[in-house]
Amino acid sequence: MQQKTKKKWTGDAVLIFFLKNRAFLLVILFFILLMLSTDTFLTGSNLMSLARQIAANGIIGVGYTFLLASDSVDLSAGYMMCMIGIISGLLSQTSLPFVAILLICIVIAMFCSSMNAVIENRFNLPPFLVTLAMQQVFRGVLMLLSNGSPISNLNEGIIFMGQGYIGPIPFSVLLMVVFIVAGHILFSRTQFGRNVIAVGGNPDAARVSGIHVERTRVYVSALLGFTIAIMALVSCGRVASAQTTLGGDTVMDIIAAVVIGGTPMGGGSGTVGGTLFGCLVIGLISNGLNLLKVSSYWQMVSKGVIILVAVVLDVYSERIYERMRNKE
Amino acid sequence: MKILEVKGVSKNFYQTHALTDVSFHLEKGEVLALAGENGAGKSTMMNILLGSFPPSKGEMVLNGEPYEPKSPHDALQKGISMIHQELCLVPSMSVADNVWIGRCGQFSRGGIYMPSLCEKRTQQLFDDYEIELDPKEKVKDLSTAQMQMVEIARAISYGSRIVIMDEPTSALSDKEVKVLYKIIRKLTEEGVSVLFISHKLEEVFDLADRVTIFRDGHMVEEREVGGLTMEELINGIAGRKVENLYPKVMTALGKVLLEVKHLSLKGVFEDISFQVRAGEVLGFAGLVGAGRTEIMQSIYGIMPADEGEIYVDGKKVENRSPREGLNHKIAMVTEDRLRQGVIKKMNVQMNMTLAYFYKICKSGFISRKREEADTEAMIKELRVKTAGSRAPIWSLSGGNQQKVMIGRALMTGPSILIMDEPTRGVDVGAKSEIYGYCNELARQGMAILLISSDLPEVMGMSDRVLVIRQGRIVAEHDRREAEAEEIMAEMFGLPGREKKEEK
């Protein structure tokens, strides 16, 4: 039997291999292209700024991978992140110590995020609708809190999260690595991770197998909230001010990164490591197009196209699986 | 005059033969009833007639011309319409709009849709057939029975030559059933032919001119209803005797492992009481929708009952979720493998350990060595044919996927095993293997609850058989005294039969 499986290196199997590792292959492709077309790309300072750019996305990407794997989606994540940023900015104006600010932000984010799942469960609503509405709520709240203007004078701890170094490595990058590794272990080795995949793959089957589907969904959302809080502080710290306008773009970038990374919309499987490469792809597009002095409007267009291609590839690989199954 | 002729039609789904060499015909203006158990092939035949899928073999002739419908819409164009069992109405639209759905163009004047014309035409139709409904009313405000009447009105509004009715009375009250009877008589007077499927055998006698009996995908008998007795009809449906296909091994029974007392769930089942002993296989016979599955689901914890008590090994338990059921050593192989069983994106191992992996977690981490070893052992024990424990679940045949589902239940280490239709959609080889596990598990002292729509199977494999009809236990049979015809009569609920029993 073992022999038989090894022999099956047909054209379809090769295609599947490429589709499965598409994020990694895209990263290599972009790397080579940018190396050849610019001389500023492969400099230490550019690579370092690239790493810091993707650090924030990498952190929330971990939470979002769990969310997509459980067959859910959250459109409100971006504005919630902004709202948490503004809250951290307001708290910075008080005499509260950094640890207190951090904890308050985490608690608020986890609460708001799990409320999404609680509402979805309670009223049996699709996540898309609930989070679409909540996005508007968060947006309003953040405008109310900030009066529409960014807040500077952030707590030093927040600045350190975004700009600090430990040895030669930016703290935010270190944080991202920790999240990716911990997220990978949580996803692939633990009971919680297995529950998430089962809930995303077939909630009915998961339920009759004794898995608490609703509870799992709330936990996943809470986890996303946790990563949102950390990401909010990192990205506010990076620019040393709490912004009010970044919300919408962030969600698109994250969803794109996770899907390109290999976690399908529709759930049932996922890869935290893939999400890292997905974030790299998104980061490389922005970075590369900046270096090539392409207008930011074209960057939007190209990102949109890349997301579309990623989703199409996802459906395509399902079809190839189908074809392989029919051949058996 | 023959309006429709079906000649030697067969239909295979992969390895399964849903229909084999079926031939029958339909006269102009007659009512032909199709009778048979669940899964006998009636629905497959209807779907072929409607063009939902083509036959694998054979041909059909409509009005002297070859008939090869490409879709239900195509069938409609050629004069065959159907009243569906499931309601396909748009709740927010009016009765009239629903009746003429997709054909509103004929009520347009200069490109503008005139609801009043549509309503007038609908009223005419209702008057003709004595249907008491207001064409202007919104469908969402109607009762289920009234919705079914809208569905019926739509089917006849096409002016089709053949109307297919799949259990049209299941949602109707007595009053509407009478209206339907009138409609059918009027249709036949007009020369329309009616193909009629029903599990209520009295209706066959009341309405049909002839009856065609299906069994295991074969057309076994065609009879005039005049001169046919209920006895003969039931014998025809039940057919074959219990054969040696079911190698039941008798084991000594132990103590009572599961006792259920007066279990009720409003509107679903009522006053269910029974006991199962260690080593016993308790069979549940009944029609689909009789409440068998729901009773099992409430014992296991998927759908908790309102009233009644469950005792496991003498101790009272309450199962409000499947996890609680599992904790009380109850496991369930669910009926619908695709919907409630297999997780397509997971591999064999993850599918098999789904209900049990939480037990081998140490502070949240899955013990991978144990998971792997236990899966390998179960694959060997159940003789699952797979390329390995990491092979994708879809690469397995239906029978082997079902073995994985049984493995999933067994890995939780149950003392009570519920199997809901364990052999549905499974090839003969895997079937006999599943019967083999059933015997072996009973020998090891497990209590098994077996639900099956396949009557010979449930009779062949069980020590005792309970018959469920409309949410109640209507009869209990010991292995030795059970007779297929008798159980069949109880399943369908024939009054004459039951009276005999009382005497």
- Burial of A176-190, coded b for 16+ CB within 10 Å and e otherwise, reads beebbeebbebbbbb
Pairwise CB contact (< 8 Å): A191 & B361: yes
Whether residue B199 sits in one domain with residue B128: yes
Residues of B in contact with A16 (CB under 8 A): none
Beta bridge partner(s), residue B79 = none
Let me know if residue B335 belongs to a domain.
no
- Binning chain B into helix, strand and coil, the percentages to the nearest 5 are 35, 25, 35
Residues of B in contact with A204 (CB under 8 A): 339-340
User: Residue B495's pLDDT is what?
Assistant: 58
Q: Which residues fall within 8 angstroms of residue A1, CB to CB, at 6 or more apart?
A: B387, B388
Distance CA A290, CA B25 (A): 75
Let me know if residue B334 belongs to a domain.
no
pLDDT at A326 over 60: no
* Chain B residue with minimum CA distance to A8: B387
Are B300 and B258 within 8 A, CB to CB? no
Let me know if residue A246 belongs to a domain.
yes
* Chain A residue with minimum CA distance to B349: A194
Let me know if residue B171 belongs to a domain.
yes
Whether residue B129 sits in one domain with residue B29: yes
Report the predicted TM-score, pTM, of the whole model to 2 decimal places: 0.76
| Interface test with chain B among A68, A187, A208, by most B beta carbons within 10 Å | A208
Distance CA B14, CA B426 (A): 11
Pairwise CB contact (< 8 Å): A325 & B395: yes
* Chain A residue with minimum CA distance to B352: A209
Are A89 and A240 within 8 A, CB to CB? no
> Minimal Cα–Cα distance from A181 to chain B, Å?
15
User: Residue A200's pLDDT is what?
Assistant: 94
Task: Kindly state whether A29 is in contact with chain B, defined as any CB-CB distance less than 8 angstroms.
Answer: no
Which DSSP letter does residue B69 get?
-
Query: Residue A328: which of B325, B361, B395 has the nearest Cβ?
Result: B395
Query: Residue A192: which of B323, B355, B364 has the nearest Cβ?
Result: B364
Where residue B502 falls among pLDDT bands split at 50, 70, 90?
Answer: very low
Let me know if residue A169 belongs to a domain.
yes
Residues of B in contact with A4 (CB under 8 A): 387
Pairwise CB contact (< 8 Å): B391 & A212: no
Where residue B503 falls among pLDDT bands split at 50, 70, 90?
Answer: very low
Mean pLDDT of B301-318: 93
Its domain, for residue B291, covers 244-329+414-503
Whether residue B409 sits in one domain with residue B270: no
Pairwise CB contact (< 8 Å): B323 & A2: no
Lowest mean pLDDT among B245-259, B326-340, B395-409: B245-259
Helices of type H across chain A: 2-7, 11-20, 22-37, 44-69, 77-92, 98-123, 127-146, 156-163, 171-189, 191-201, 203-208, 213-239, 247-261, 272-291, 296-327
Whether residue B222 sits in one domain with residue B140: yes
Residues of A in contact with B345 (CB under 8 A): 197, 201, 268-269
Residues of B in contact with A2 (CB under 8 A): 387-388
Whether residue B197 sits in one domain with residue B51: yes
pLDDT at B379 over 60: yes
Pairwise CB contact (< 8 Å): B343 & A205: yes
pLDDT digit string, tens, across residues A222-280 = 999 999 999 999 999 999 999 888 777 788 889 889 988 888 888 888 999 999 999 99
pLDDT at A295 over 80: yes
Whether residue B432 sits in one domain with residue B490: yes
User: Residue A310's pLDDT is what?
Assistant: 75
- Tokens 């109607």: give the residue: B142
Let me know if residue A38 belongs to a domain.
no
pLDDT digit string, tens, across residues B422-465 = 987 776 677 888 998 999 999 999 999 999 887 878 888 899 99
**Last residue in a domain, options B238, B271, B292:** B238
Task: Kindly state whether A13 is in contact with chain B, defined as any CB-CB distance less than 8 angstroms.
Answer: no
pLDDT at A5 over 60: no
Residues of A in contact with B366 (CB under 8 A): 189-191, 194
The CATH code of the domain that includes B265 is 3.40.50.300
Beta bridge partner(s), residue B265 = B269
Report residue B54: phi and psi, to 5°: -80, 155
Whether residue B114 sits in one domain with residue B233: yes
Distance CA A85, CA A158 (A): 10
Half-sphere exposure of B477 (CA within 13 A, CB side): 26
* Chain B residue with minimum CA distance to A210: B323
Q: Which helix (H) or strand (E) holds B467?
A: strand B464-469
User: Residue B499's pLDDT is what?
Assistant: 42
Let me know if residue A155 belongs to a domain.
yes
For residue B468, give the amino acid letter: I
Distance CA A223, CA A70 (A): 12
Residue B337: which of B292, B412, B396 has the closest Cα?
Answer: B396
Its domain, for residue A73, covers 43-323
Whether residue B203 sits in one domain with residue B72: yes
pLDDT digit string, tens, across residues B464-485 = 999 999 899 999 998 877 788 8
**A–B CB contacts, 8 A cutoff, strictly below:** 87
Residues of B in contact with A68 (CB under 8 A): none
Greater model confidence, A319 or B407:
B407
Give chain A's end-to-end CA distance (angstroms, integer).
14
Pairwise CB contact (< 8 Å): A210 & B357: no
Write out the two tokens for A82. Answer: 């902004």
Where residue B243 falls among pLDDT bands split at 50, 70, 90?
Answer: very low
Let me know if residue A33 belongs to a domain.
no
Query: Residue B345: which of A192, A209, A268 has the nearest Cβ?
Result: A268
Pairwise CB contact (< 8 Å): A189 & B365: yes
Distance CA A73, CA B198 (A): 45
pLDDT at B88 over 50: yes
Whether residue B409 sits in one domain with residue B285: no
Q: What ranges make up the beta strands (E) of B217-334?
A: 218-224, 256-265, 269-277, 281-285, 307-312, 315-317, 330-333
Whether residue B283 sits in one domain with residue B183: no
* Chain A residue with minimum CA distance to B322: A210
* Chain B residue with minimum CA distance to A185: B365
Let me know if residue A22 belongs to a domain.
no
Task: Kindly state whether A212 is in contact with chain B, defined as any CB-CB distance less than 8 angstroms.
Answer: yes
User: Residue B244's pLDDT is what?
Assistant: 52
Residues of A in contact with B354 (CB under 8 A): 198, 205-206, 209, 211
B308 torsion bin: left (phi>0), alpha (psi -120 to 50), beta (else): left
Let me know if residue A27 belongs to a domain.
no
> Minimal Cα–Cα distance from B387 to chain A, Å?
5
Report residue B5: phi and psi, to 5°: -130, 130
Pairwise CB contact (< 8 Å): A191 & B357: yes
> Minimal Cα–Cα distance from B368 to chain A, Å?
8
Interface of B with A (CB under 8 A): 300, 302, 321-323, 325-326, 332, 334, 339-346, 350, 354-355, 357-358, 361, 364-366, 368, 387-388, 391-392, 394-395, 408, 412
User: Residue B230's pLDDT is what?
Assistant: 80
> Minimal Cα–Cα distance from A82 to chain B, Å?
33
pLDDT digit string, tens, across residues B198-238 = 877 888 888 899 999 988 788 888 888 888 888 788 778 87
* Chain A residue with minimum CA distance to B347: A269
User: Residue B85's pLDDT is what?
Assistant: 65
Where residue A324 falls among pLDDT bands split at 50, 70, 90?
Answer: low
The CATH code of the domain that includes A95 is 1.10.3470
pLDDT at A8 over 60: no
Residues of A in contact with B359 (CB under 8 A): none
Query: Residue A198: which of B323, B334, B343 has the nearest Cβ?
Result: B343
pLDDT digit string, tens, across residues A190-220 = 999 999 999 999 999 999 999 999 999 999 9
Task: Kindly state whether A96 is in contact with chain B, defined as any CB-CB distance less than 8 angstroms.
Answer: no
The count of structural domains within chain B is: 3
Let me know if residue B310 belongs to a domain.
yes
Residues of B in contact with A326 (CB under 8 A): none
Whether residue B125 sits in one domain with residue B268: no
Let me know if residue B319 belongs to a domain.
yes
pLDDT at A134 over 70: yes
pLDDT at B498 over 50: no
Pairwise CB contact (< 8 Å): A208 & B326: no
Write out the two tokens for A57. Answer: 């996305």
B394 torsion bin: left (phi>0), alpha (psi -120 to 50), beta (else): alpha
Pairwise CB contact (< 8 Å): B394 & A268: no
Mean pLDDT of A6-21: 70
| Interface test with chain A among B296, B343, B347, by most A beta carbons within 10 Å | B343
Whether residue B290 sits in one domain with residue B187: no
Pairwise CB contact (< 8 Å): A191 & B302: no
- In sign, the C-alpha dihedral spanning B91, B95, B97, B103 is positive
| Interface test with chain A among B321, B340, B354, by most A beta carbons within 10 Å | B354
Task: Kindly state whether A191 is in contact with chain B, defined as any CB-CB distance less than 8 angstroms.
Answer: yes
Let me know if residue B264 belongs to a domain.
yes
Let me know if residue A84 belongs to a domain.
yes
Mean pLDDT of B157-176: 84
User: Residue B130's pLDDT is what?
Assistant: 87
Are B326 and B319 within 8 A, CB to CB? no
Are B214 and B40 within 8 A, CB to CB? yes
Question: ipTM, 2 decimals?
Answer: 0.83
The count of structural domains within chain A is: 1
Residues of A in contact with B325 (CB under 8 A): 210
